[in-house]
Amino acid sequence: MPNISDFVIENGVLVKYHGTDRDVVIPEGVTSIGDEAFAWCRSLKSIHIPDSVTSIGQFAFYNCWALASVNIPDSVTSIGEMAFAECQYLESIYISDGVTSIDGGAFQGCSSLVSIHIPNSISSIGDCAFWECSSLTSIHIPDSVTSIGERAFEDCRCLNSINIPDGVTSIRMGTFLKCSSLTSIKLPKSMTSIGDWAFQDCGCLESIHIPDGAVSIGQFAFEDCSSLASLSIPDSVTSIGDAAFRNCKGLACENGFVTVRNTLYSYHGNNKEVIVPETVTSVGDGAFSYCWFLTSVHIPDGVTEIGDEAFRECDALESLHIPASVTTIGYKAFDGCSALAIYAPKGSYATEYAKENGIPFKVI
């Protein structure tokens, strides 16, 4: 048992613990665990928090490597940012019914965490709250939660199932980025937006249904979801960001094109000579990037835009037919295309672009 002299307590706030005990009982009467009170206490294995405690401060148990489990009593109403971050041996945590929010980074880097109880009193989960909790396989989010922060579950590599309550209206930036074991997720009817990088690199995600009422899908939202084979987008969606479905190989049709809403997001065929489908109106960012085997591409009339880095490092590409309808060519669209010649109508945007950028061209 630690000596009372190991604790610095001021007006009920446990300011700092200076002991080295493995098992610590916080003295009765303490009402708050202060910021960084136990930070870097690497010998700490278990902690008893008394019912008198109402708040746990920022970084309170930061980097307490040996801490294995925590029970938070009903008296606690708030858990500060990064409170248990980088507690790499923390396997389970029970959050009591008094807590109303899980602040940003509260359990970030708890790589051994396999079990957590989130009570119905929680209304929000902060940014990066469970970032890099790489052993967490499933988590139940109660109906009381209406907000899930950016990157809240990023790099939870073993997370294979999760529920999103009906009150949540947005999947924010990078919320499920690199959740590489996630196979499916049901989005609630309340959902209106999916943020940038929201599901990027979820390589096992096979299907997703975007509900009616959703209006936007952010850039790179599903990039590199290579197993995604079933996708439903309602008419209510009016905005889809750049590269939102790039490298979603499972969505490719027989000829290797991944197209969503008339935008060509990527090509996964192996033909040297390619004719872009007539239905396409936009060639997306990076759509043909690193297709080193391509020698010829024909873009049909009706296409108005060629995105950033669309043909980057296509070093065997010798001829690219660009119609007069194209009025925009993005940043470094042909970077690394050393053999390229552009074929385009006289006076078209493409011929002027070729002149300005020193690319050989032929008028057709």
pLDDT at 200 over 90: yes
Q: Which of 123, 152, 181 is the last residue of a domain?
A: 152
Which CATH number fits the domain that encloses residue 203? Answer: 3.80.10.10
280-306 pLDDT per residue, tens: 999 999 999 999 999 999 999 999 999
Radius of gyration of the chain (CA): 26
pLDDT at 81 over 90: yes
Q: Which of 215, 234, 251 is the last residue of a domain?
A: 251
Count the domains in the chain: 3
Instruction: Tell me the pTM.
Output: 0.87
d(CA 24, CA 159): 32
Question: Same domain, yes or no, for 225 and 340?
Answer: no
Q: What is the residue-wise DSSP string for 10-39?
A: ETTEEEEE----SEEEPPTT--EE-TTSST
pLDDT score at 253: 83
| Spatial CB neighbours of 182, under 8 Å, sequence gap ≥ 6 | 159, 160, 161, 162, 176, 199, 202, 204, 205
The tokens of 335 are what?
Answer: 């970077």
pLDDT score at 203: 96
Question: Same domain, yes or no, for 77 and 167?
Answer: no
pLDDT score at 61: 98
Q: Which of 197, 217, 251 is the last residue of a domain?
A: 251
22-61 pLDDT per residue, tens: 999 999 999 999 999 999 999 999 999 999 999 999 999 9
Question: Same domain, yes or no, for 1 and 147?
Answer: yes
Question: Same domain, yes or no, for 211 and 139?
Answer: no
Centroid of chain to Cα 114: 20
231-272 pLDDT per residue, tens: 889 999 999 998 999 999 999 887 899 999 999 999 999 999
Mean pLDDT over 340-349 rounds to: 97
Range of the domain at 195: 160-251
The tokens of 135 are what?
Answer: 């052993």
Residue 1 banded pLDDT, cuts 50, 70, 90: low
- In the three-class reduction of DSSP (H, G, I as helix; E, B as strand; rest coil), residue 285 is classed as coil
pLDDT at 163 over 80: yes
Question: Same domain, yes or no, for 21 and 133?
Answer: yes
